[in-house]
Amino acid sequence: MVTAGIPHPASDSDVATTFKIVHDHAERIYLWDYERCRTQLVTLYNKAMGSQWNSVADLDWDTDVDPERLVDHDGPMMQVVRLASDEPGSPIASWGDREFTALGVEMFKASISQFMHGEQGAMLTAAKIVETVPWIDAKYYAATQTMDEARHTEVFAKYLDLKVGEAYPMSPYLEEQITALLEDSRWDIAYLGMQIAIESLALAAFGDMLRRTTEPLLRKLLRYVMSDEARHVAFGVLTLKEFYAGLSDPELKERQEFLLDNTLRNRSRSTTPEVWERLGVNLHALMPHLAAAAGTMMTSPYAGFQRGFFAKLVPNVGKLGLLDANRGYLRERWGEAGLLQFEHEADTLSDYDSYDEVAKDRARS
């Protein structure tokens, strides 16, 4: 049965496995003012048109990929798991090379799966921005971003399907975070949550994978996706900097609270339980051993990735004026959490110009 174009599920479980309905509370804005008055957004839009790439023609899908050979046995997460297997009473004490390799493949699959789901969330959010932002130059730009995110979703889905294997479901943490952005009545929250927070996280995660992999198809795919993402972050910074300059202190406080909430949640990310489930390991029994192993290493397996995330996020938030609004409310709290060390890292407003791998490849050929 079909109602208003939506396939009607036979049961509640069908809804959970085939699609999710999100109710947006924001107003759609139709504009009559077509004047191109925001020159930096015009430049960014023109750049986006010129840097579109083709997911079929620009990537060599015939590349032979063996996921087992891609496993990074020296990565920080794998080191922690190996240490945990040596712990007395560890449920993975009997593990050998075969099991560690299987874990590596599943972790890789889980990462690409979350990239794919996150990209679909970015596509929906960019489309929401097209509808809700009250500036014509921003609508035009968000339309190019919607296309970029469609391409990103598609290439990660295709890479999983052709080269890696069955996808994992979206992590509940990521799903909750993106759903909240799609439901919010304030148009700028979609920007702040996606362009500033999640895309900084994505740039760090993609960069982390790019540093670790030698697989040529994945490397090119990530380089191209990252070139697009750098523009998306710049779009968020340019728009919100102007918009936040006109907000009242209580309105800015809401945005500061939003960032506090999101960054604290990001810091508590933990091992994907589904990976361990697929491998038949009881994560509850393994957790104390993983924690002890991570303690021995004196660092979190996510430390490098977290650094990459905050090194992008904190300077960008500074550019928006949100660190210092309300007498430094966010500066004080992020300072207590040790995040201000990243304040003077390069912000990503101009990254998109230097990090355009599509243009570099085209200049070479």
Binding site for Fe ion (CB under 5 A): 119, 122, 149, 152, 229, 232
Nearer to Fe ion, 122 or 133 (CB): 122
Nearer to Fe ion, 106 or 208 (CB): 208
> Measured from the CB of residue 146, what is the shortest distance to Fe ion in angstroms?
10
Nearer to Fe ion, 119 or 347 (CB): 119
CB 330 within 8 A of CB 260: yes
The CA distance from 17 to 14, in Å, is: 5
> Measured from the CB of residue 232, what is the shortest distance to Fe ion in angstroms?
4
CB 137 within 8 A of CB 106: no
Nearest in space to 220 (alpha carbons), one of 365, 77, 104: 365
Nearer to Fe ion, 122 or 129 (CB): 122
> Measured from the CB of residue 225, what is the shortest distance to Fe ion in angstroms?
6
Long-range contacts of 205-214 (CB under 8 A, 24+ apart): 205/111, 205/115, 205/305, 205/308, 205/309, 206/115, 207/308, 208/304, 208/305, 208/308, 209/111, 212/72, 212/75, 213/70, 213/72
List, in sequence order, every residue forming a beta bridge with 7; answer none if it has no partner. 2
> Measured from the CB of residue 154, what is the shortest distance to Fe ion in angstroms?
11
Nearer to Fe ion, 119 or 208 (CB): 119
The CA distance from 21 to 252, in Å, is: 30
Nearer to Fe ion, 133 or 286 (CB): 133
The CA distance from 111 to 96, in Å, is: 23
> Measured from the CB of residue 174, what is the shortest distance to Fe ion in angstroms?
13
The CA distance from 135 to 141, in Å, is: 10
> Measured from the CB of residue 47, what is the shortest distance to Fe ion in angstroms?
14
